[in-house]
Amino acid sequence: MKRLRNPWGRPRFLVLVTGAYILWSLIPVALAVLFAFNDGRSRTTWQGFSTRWFTGETGSVLHDPALQGALRHTLFLGVVCVLVATPIGVALALGLQRWRGPGGGTINTVMLLPLVTPEIVMGVALLLLFLQVLPGIGLGSSAQAIGQVTFTISYVVVIVRGRLVSIGRDYEEAAADLGAPPHDQLIRVLLPLLAPAIIASAAVVFAISLDDFVVTQYLSGDASTTTVSMLLYSSARAAPTPALNALATIALLITLATLGLAYLVYRRFASGSDANAMAGLEV
Amino acid sequence: MQGEIRLEELTKRFGEVVAVDGIDLQMPGGEFFTMVGPSGCGKTTTLRMIAGFERPTSGRIVLDDVDVGQVPPHRRSVNTVFQSYALFPHLDVAGNVGFGLKYKRLTKEEQRRKVGEALSLVRLGDLAKRKPGQLSGGQQQRVALARALVLTPRVLLLDEPLGALDARLRKDLQVELKALQAELGITFVFVTHDQEEALTMSDRVAVMSGGRVEQAGTPREIYEEPATLFVADFLGVSNLIGARASADGETCVLRVGERTLLAAAGATDARGEVKAMIRPERIAVEPQGALGDNRVPGMVERAVYIGSAHELHVRLVGGDLLRATIRNDGSALAYEEGTPVTLYLPPDALRVLKP
């Protein structure tokens, strides 16, 4: 007879698989970060701890114009993308939520397309657009910003709509009932309730912009429009030094800090209203 | 009296679905008016049309002789207490209650005073700085009430405001709400699916079903003199007996199986197949063999102890099951399960309903 397992015991096999997966996904990142602090030119042999690739005299992120320029351009694109994509995305989410007429379903699907379209397709399409249809803008910063905004808007729409659905129509109706005209319903009630989702989506947009490679690469112009991800890609084959690891580490930290901050703000705002509003963060 | 509402041929369609089907209702000013019915009967949709959240497909909503059917909600002098309360989670209690005062052309000082008054009216003065999330269900309900009443509406709409509260608190708030309404003299339009709530709180009740008004009247009228089978069945427990009605001079004679019963209430002019109804508390349970008119023999099938009363389920010879309640006076129940008994159905309690 088969021995009966204790059903209240820990599921050991699942714990093992989970632990192995976490290790497997973190080790490469940890190694890359570790070698950013290597006191030598090697990215594979440990030669002691140092911060020379961050702040050293030569070849460090702080003093190499190419690395520094890439970092600055990346952050610039990120900020522009947040400032443009977030308001448009929020407006679209509000509009789509209210859309009761025919064609609503179609527009919904269209909004989600950028999330499932292979980025390479999007990149090529945008490249053709800027070369053939809108040559006036030309390749470079503007094209990169427009390109990133194009597909990050979808994330804003998805996150903000998730929150809108969980908020429901009651609060708006209550505001109207108490005498607030439509404009006040939006400003005094809806936007404060949406604030966590708006902040979260801004953070997600920033993080995606920072990490984006394909679209940003396609729409880049001269050397001044090189981003961190592009630089990492192109010099990985040429003459890699731990300075690249240092650059990647900085990008990683900024991304993590952004998402962490957004999470904290979101929690603070969302507490007291409803717990399932957190669903908006799980993209 | 201010705050009178008249619904005329009011209809609301959602696509193919008719939610409210051409209803006519009079809600006199200053009264506690209740719309009661099962879910999907159109009561909430009617309330939402009065509030202005839904636009009538056709018909009129007349508030103090003005048709407000096409007026947007923020310009109607009616306020709502929502089923979910819909308190703004980002504002504290005072902020919630003061929300609508901003549109009333008052100084800051007057606004503060009115908020204070409204909060003391619902006995929440010391919680003004709390956020809604820190309040209990009953307290949230009071804030919702204060937020609506502070604007001194002509009509207050309440959409199942007690639905989310536990039974004990519900009872307390029923009494409190009714007292508040009597004190303020504002028209209350109350929506509930709870028939007991409807009977105990209201001056007037409309029983709704399938988007139509089955019957409207005082609680006593609709309970004692239900006009339709639905009303009889929906309000409280009622016993329905299938019978054949015929005339014997002025009185109505019902044939139930082998027996004949006199019925003096309801549609006594009906003839042919009818339903007769009688409330459990109007049936007198007597020992087997008791003699006289309007008595039927039966057998106690179940005796249920419900605290304030005993409920007997008595199976009649013809097969119908009647429930009779006997007030609990402290003595032991004389009729156990399986005991043959005689039921006396007084003619004035036996009501003939048209099918």
Q: How confident is the model at residue A280 (pLDDT cuts 50, 70, 90)?
A: very low
The stretch B40-65 carries a mean pLDDT of 95
Which residues in chain B are classed under CATH 2.40.50.140? 237-353
As a whole number of angstroms, the distance between CA A208 and CA A115 comes to 12
Supply the pLDDT for residue B252: 86
Supply the pLDDT for residue A281: 40
The partner residue sitting opposite A171, judged by closest CB among B51, B88, B133, is: B88
pLDDT > 70 in chain A, percent: 90
Candidate from B26-30, B84-88, B176-180, B265-269 with smallest mean pLDDT = B265-269
Cβ of B100 and A180 within 8 Å?
A: yes
Cβ of B72 and A176 within 8 Å?
A: yes
Q: How confident is the model at residue B46 (pLDDT cuts 50, 70, 90)?
A: very high
Cβ of A178 and B88 within 8 Å?
A: no
Q: What is the DSSP letter of A140?
A: S
Q: How confident is the model at residue B119 (pLDDT cuts 50, 70, 90)?
A: very high
Cβ of B131 and A272 within 8 Å?
A: yes
| C-alpha distance from B79 to closest chain A C-alpha (Å) | 6
Give the residue, B93 or A12, on which the prediction is more confident. Answer: B93
Supply the pLDDT for residue A28: 87
Q: So what's the ipTM on this one? A: 0.83
Interface test with B, best of A167, A177, A194, A271 (most B CBs within 10 A): A177
* Residue B53: closest C-alpha in chain A: A173
Domains of chain A: 65-281 (1.10.3720.10)
Q: What is the pLDDT of residues A151-185, one digit of tens each?
A: 899 999 999 988 898 888 899 999 999 999 999 99
Q: What is the pLDDT of residues B241-275, one digit of tens each?
A: 888 888 877 778 888 877 888 888 888 888 888 88
* Residue A196: closest C-alpha in chain B: B90
- With beta carbons under 8 A apart, name residues in chain B contacting A174: 80, 82, 86-88
Task: Give residues with Cβ within 8 angstroms of B164, minimum separation 6.
Answer: B83, B84, B137, B141
Q: How confident is the model at residue B312 (pLDDT cuts 50, 70, 90)?
A: very high
Supply the pLDDT for residue A55: 85
Cβ of B89 and A273 within 8 Å?
A: yes
Q: How confident is the model at residue B49 (pLDDT cuts 50, 70, 90)?
A: very high
Instruction: Please determine, for residue A99, whether its predicted confidence score (pLDDT) is greater than 80.
Output: no
Domain B5-226: top CATH class = alpha beta
The partner residue sitting opposite B73, judged by closest CB among A177, A192, A273, is: A177
Across chain B, mean pLDDT equals 91
Supply the pLDDT for residue A269: 66
Supply the pLDDT for residue A274: 44
- With beta carbons under 8 A apart, name residues in chain A contacting B74: 176-182
- With beta carbons under 8 A apart, name residues in chain B contacting A189: 88
Cβ of B88 and A176 within 8 Å?
A: no
Through-space distance between the first and last CA atoms of chain A, rounded to whole angstroms: 47
The partner residue sitting opposite B86, judged by closest CB among A170, A269, A274, is: A170
Give the residue, B224 or A269, on which the prediction is more confident. Answer: B224
Q: What is the pLDDT of residues A124-133, one digit of tens each?
A: 999 999 888 8
| C-alpha distance from A85 to closest chain B C-alpha (Å) | 26
Q: What is the pTM of this model?
A: 0.80
Q: DSSP characters for B211-277?
A: TEEEEEE-HHHHHHS-SSHHHHHHSS--EEEEEEEEEETTEEEEEETTEEEEE-EE-TT--EEEEEE
Supply the pLDDT for residue A84: 97
Assess contact for A220 and A139: CB atoms under 8 A. Answer: yes
Interface test with A, best of B48, B74, B91 (most A CBs within 10 A): B74
Q: How confident is the model at residue B355 (pLDDT cuts 50, 70, 90)?
A: low
Cβ of A180 and B99 within 8 Å?
A: yes
Supply the pLDDT for residue A157: 92
Domain B237-353: top CATH class = mainly beta
Cβ of B82 and A173 within 8 Å?
A: yes
Cβ of B74 and A189 within 8 Å?
A: no
Q: What is the pLDDT of residues A177-217, one digit of tens each?
A: 999 999 999 999 999 999 989 998 999 999 999 989 999 99
| C-alpha distance from B178 to closest chain A C-alpha (Å) | 22
| C-alpha distance from B151 to closest chain A C-alpha (Å) | 8
Q: How confident is the model at residue A57 (pLDDT cuts 50, 70, 90)?
A: confident
The stretch A236-260 carries a mean pLDDT of 85
Assess contact for B239 and B323: CB atoms under 8 A. Answer: yes
Which residues in chain B are classed under CATH 3.40.50.300? 5-226
- With beta carbons under 8 A apart, name residues in chain A contacting B87: 174
Instruction: Please determine, for residue B212, whether its predicted confidence score (pLDDT) is greater than 80.
Output: yes
As a whole number of angstroms, the distance between CA A268 and CA A250 comes to 27
What is the number of other CB atoms lying within 10 angstroms of the CB of residue B186? 22
**Inter-CA distances, B30 with A31, B178, B182, B186, Å:** 77, 12, 8, 5
Give the residue, A266 or B310, on which the prediction is more confident. Answer: B310
Supply the pLDDT for residue A273: 46
The stretch B83-105 carries a mean pLDDT of 93
- With beta carbons under 8 A apart, name residues in chain B contacting A177: 51-53, 73-74, 78-80, 100, 148
Query: Mapping DSSP to helix (H, G, I), strand (E, B) and coil, where does residue B122 land?
Result: coil
**Inter-CA distances, A145 with A80, A85, A151, B130, Å:** 7, 10, 11, 44
The partner residue sitting opposite B79, judged by closest CB among A170, A178, A180, is: A178
Q: How confident is the model at residue B88 (pLDDT cuts 50, 70, 90)?
A: very high
As a whole number of angstroms, the distance between CA A272 and CA A193 comes to 11
Q: What is the pLDDT of residues A195-206, one digit of tens each?
A: 989 998 999 999
Quote the Cα angle for B324-B329-B331, to 5°.
100
Instruction: Please determine, for residue B132, whether its predicted confidence score (pLDDT) is greater than 70.
Output: yes
Quote the Cα angle for A177-A180-A183, to 5°.
135
Query: Mapping DSSP to helix (H, G, I), strand (E, B) and coil, where does residue B300 land?
Result: strand
Query: Mapping DSSP to helix (H, G, I), strand (E, B) and coil, where does residue B159 land?
Result: strand
Cβ of A179 and B151 within 8 Å?
A: yes
Give the residue, B49 or B250, on which the prediction is more confident. Answer: B49
The partner residue sitting opposite A177, judged by closest CB among B51, B102, B134, is: B51
Across chain A, how many H-helices and E-strands are there? 12, 0
Across chain A, mean pLDDT equals 85
pLDDT > 90 in chain A, percent: 40
Residue (of A102, A123, A104) closest to A114 by Cα position: A123
Instruction: Please determine, for residue A10, whether its predicted confidence score (pLDDT) is greater than 80.
Output: no
| C-alpha distance from B155 to closest chain A C-alpha (Å) | 12
Instruction: Please determine, for residue B96, whether its predicted confidence score (pLDDT) is greater than 90.
Output: yes
The stretch B62-81 carries a mean pLDDT of 94
The stretch B215-231 carries a mean pLDDT of 92
| C-alpha distance from B241 to closest chain A C-alpha (Å) | 45
| C-alpha distance from B103 to closest chain A C-alpha (Å) | 6
| C-alpha distance from B18 to closest chain A C-alpha (Å) | 19
The stretch A7-33 carries a mean pLDDT of 88
The partner residue sitting opposite A176, judged by closest CB among B74, B84, B148, is: B74
- With beta carbons under 8 A apart, name residues in chain A contacting B147: 178
Candidate from A55-59, A279-283, B136-140, B229-233 with smallest mean pLDDT = A279-283
Q: How confident is the model at residue A241 (pLDDT cuts 50, 70, 90)?
A: confident
As a whole number of angstroms, the distance between CA B261 and CA B255 comes to 6
| C-alpha distance from A83 to closest chain B C-alpha (Å) | 25
